[in-house]
Amino acid sequence: MFKALARLWRYLVAWLTGKVEQLEDPEVLLDQARREMQETLARNRERAIQAITQKNILQAEVEKLERTVRDLERKAELALQHGKRDLALQLIREKKAQEGALQSMRASLQQAIETVESIKLAIRRQEEEVRVKTAQALAMKARWKQAQIQNAINKALEGITIENLESVWSAAEQRIQRAEAEAAARQEMAAQSLQGRLAALQDAQLDYEAEQELARIEQRLGLRPAEATTTSAVEESDALRELEELERKLQATQRGDTSATNGT
């Protein structure tokens, strides 16, 4: 009755303070049940100690009364030996009265012993039940924690839909593809620029070689006068110097473009 009233009072307090959900938490309920079992066990142990104490007191009284009966019998025998029959009779009567009390007390002691043994057995069983329930409470707490974690994970996953994932993946893929295309375009422009310069250089080289070949043919055929040949040689020397200058410029420009591309 007291426990029921206590639970009702705690529920009312929790309801007034807005903590009903906390009060109904399985972990809180299990801890409360475990404390109540341990408190009940402690009270029963105290009752068992009191019962054993009373049994021990009763045992001591029985042993004391047994000594009294033996002492009265010994005194009665001694009185008879001294010819005091009336005293011996009085001692025997007292012994009979004490034996009646002793018989009743022995019955009470036997009952007390049986009661104490049953109490000890009940305490052992209750202790075992408390151990089992404590282990079960720990297992149930673990299950409760796992359920809470699983629910939290499920709630988190509910907010992540396939559509959101697909849009994120698609946006990321598009940015990567755009960056790759831009890098390829820059590389292509750099290659085309270099190839164009190399092609121009090759064209100039071909023109120079063709001009030399044509001059040799004209000179062999006698179609080019000596001064013209001299002039042509001078022009050829100038063309070679100009070509070398162009090559140096192209090489310098190529190194600059390569450095800019690497820096990018």
Q: What is the mean pLDDT of residues 143-164?
A: 77
In this structure, is residue 45 part of a structural domain?
yes
Q: In this structure, is residue 2 part of a structural domain?
A: no
- The three-state secondary structure class of 16 is helix
Examine the domain organization and report whether 82 and 172 are in the same domain: no
User: How many domains does the chain divide into?
Assistant: 2
Q: Are residues 41 and 151 in the same domain?
A: yes
pLDDT digits (tens, 9 = 90+) for 65-102: 999 999 999 999 999 999 999 998 999 999 999 999 99
Residues 182 and 129 in one domain: no
Q: What are the pLDDT digits (tens) for 199-253?
A: 666 777 777 777 777 777 778 777 765 544 445 555 556 666 776 777 777 677 6
Three-state secondary structure readout of 170-204: HHHHHHHHHHHHHHHHHHHHHHHHHHHHHHHHHHH
pLDDT digits (tens, 9 = 90+) for 241-260: 776 777 777 677 666 655 55
* Whether residue 28 has pLDDT greater than 50: yes
Same domain membership, residue 64 and residue 177: no
Regarding whether 186 and 65 lie in a shared domain, the answer is no
Mean pLDDT of the region 7-15: 48
Q: Is residue 154 part of a domain?
A: yes
Exposed, middle or buried, 29 (CB in 10 Å: 0-12/13-18/19+)?
A: middle
Residues 47, 139 within the same domain = yes
**Predicted local confidence at residue 227, as pLDDT:** 46
Same domain, 180 and 131: no
Domain shared by 136 and 60, yes or no: yes
Please give the residue range of the domain that contains residue 197: 165-263
The reported pLDDT for the residue numbered 220 is 77
Q: Is residue 66 part of a domain?
A: yes
Q: 3-state secondary structure string, 53-108?
A: HHHHHHHHHHHHHHHHHHHHHHHHHHHHHCCCHHHHHHHHHHHHHHHHHHHHHHHH
Give CA–CA dist 126/45, Å, rounded: 10
First to last CA, the chain: 84
Whether residue 53 is contained in a domain is answered as yes
Question: Same domain for 171 and 142?
Answer: no
Q: Is residue 180 very low, low, confident or very high in pLDDT (cuts 50, 70, 90)?
A: confident
Q: Same domain for 175 and 117?
A: no
Mark which of 159, 186, 207 sits at the end of a domain.
159
Domain boundary (112, 131, 159) is at 159
Based on the fold, state whether residues 143 and 257 are members of the same structural domain.
no
Q: Residue 261: which H helix or E strand, with range?
A: helix 226-263
pLDDT, residue 20, reads: 45
Residue 11 lies in a domain: no
Q: What is the pLDDT of residue 112?
A: 92
143 and 179 fall within a common domain: no
Q: Is residue 258 part of a domain?
A: yes
Among 106, 129, 159, identify where a domain stops.
Answer: 159
Give pLDDT, residue 149. Answer: 87
The whole-number pLDDT of residue 12 equals 47
Asked if residue 9 belongs to a domain, the reply is no
